[in-house]
């Protein structure tokens, strides 16, 4: 059972974003990876249903052609890539996606800015860490969207090898706002640094968003991860926007 009152924070998010954007236009940019598209589609629908004047989802053509029509609730802007298929390797695919978006985002924003509601905000997947620079170059505000739980994001934040002073020797780990964690509770690539090195680097790179993004959106709600949220909220501009599931499951 999910208490619909948890979405009261979602309403305030929309209201605040409308104030920031002068009731204009929000661009949403998921990465074309399984498990990352649908949460941002559902979030886009929710923004539109709560009164944001215009919401446009930006994705690659091979994804958009298979997406159902959204009945006018959100718009879909497709990035063409000819007959070229996205690379299967996650690292190469994200590099390919980065180049594709970099070449096309300015044109998309300029085209949409000719409408009654010009683009003011870019909501991007937290793994597309380069998107915040593109947003700021275009004069847009940028919000990083974390599809993973807030607790998992907190683990990545506290155990980032670039910044952490925590040494992992196999014993239980104590992190702020989290219960005592045994080795088995942690993602395997944290304690086995030779495992999935590319994925490890990608996961930890999300922490860049804490300092660079204008907002951090987490796919959770207050009652679910209260302790973690209470720790992060005074430090960073976070918003809880979950759960991002179809509304029919919440009625």
Helix crossing, 37-49 with 8-21: angle to 10°? 80
Residue 62: how many other CB atoms lie within 10 Å: 16
Any catalytic annotation for residue 136?
no
Residue 171: how many other CB atoms lie within 10 Å: 9
Buried b (16+ CB within 10 A) or exposed e, 97-128: bbebbeebbeebbeebeeeebbbbbbbbbbbb
Cis peptide before 243 (omega within 30 of 0): yes
Residue 196: how many other CB atoms lie within 10 Å: 15
Q: From 109, 107, 87, 126, select the one nearest 211 (Cα to Cα).
A: 126
Residue 226: how many other CB atoms lie within 10 Å: 13
Any catalytic annotation for residue 25?
no
Q: Which residue out of 3, 25, 36, 133 is catalytically annotated?
A: 36
Q: Which residue out of 25, 82, 98, 125 is catalytically annotated?
A: 125
Whether residue 187 contacts residue 158, with contact meaning beta carbons closer than 8 Å, is answered with: no
| 3-state secondary structure (DSSP) of residue 72 | coil
Residues forming the active site: 36, 125
């Amino acid at each position: 059972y999910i208490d619909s009152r948890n979405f009261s924070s979602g309403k305030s998010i929309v209201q605040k974003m409308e104030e920031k954007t002068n009731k204009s236009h929000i661009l949403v940019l998921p990465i074309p990876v399984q498990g990352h598209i649908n949460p941002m589609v559902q979030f886009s629908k929710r923004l539109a249903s709560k009164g944001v004047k215009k919401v446009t989802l930006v994705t690659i053509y091979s994804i958009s052609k298979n997406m159902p029509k959204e009945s006018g609730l959100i718009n879909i802007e497709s990035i063409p890539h000819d007959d070229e298929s996205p690379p299967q390797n996650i690292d190469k695919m994200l590099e390919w996606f980065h180049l594709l978006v970099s070449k096309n985002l300015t044109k998309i924003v300029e085209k949409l800015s000719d409408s009654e509601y010009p683009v003011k905000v870019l909501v991007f997947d937290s793994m597309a860490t380069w998107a915040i620079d593109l947003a700021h170059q275009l004069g847009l505000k940028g919000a990083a969207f974390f599809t993973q739980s807030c607790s998992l994001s907190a683990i990545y934040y506290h155990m980032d090898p670039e910044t952490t002073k925590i040494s992992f020797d196999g014993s239980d780990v104590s992190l702020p706002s989290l219960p005592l964690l045994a080795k088995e509770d942690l993602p395997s690539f944290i304690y086995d640094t030779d495992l999935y090195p590319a994925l490890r680097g990608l996961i930890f790179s999300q922490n860049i968003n804490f300092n660079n993004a204008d907002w951090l959106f987490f796919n959770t709600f207050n009652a679910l991860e209260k302790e973690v949220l209470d720790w992060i909220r005074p430090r960073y501009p976070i918003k809880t926007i979950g759960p991002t599931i179809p509304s029919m499951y919440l009625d």
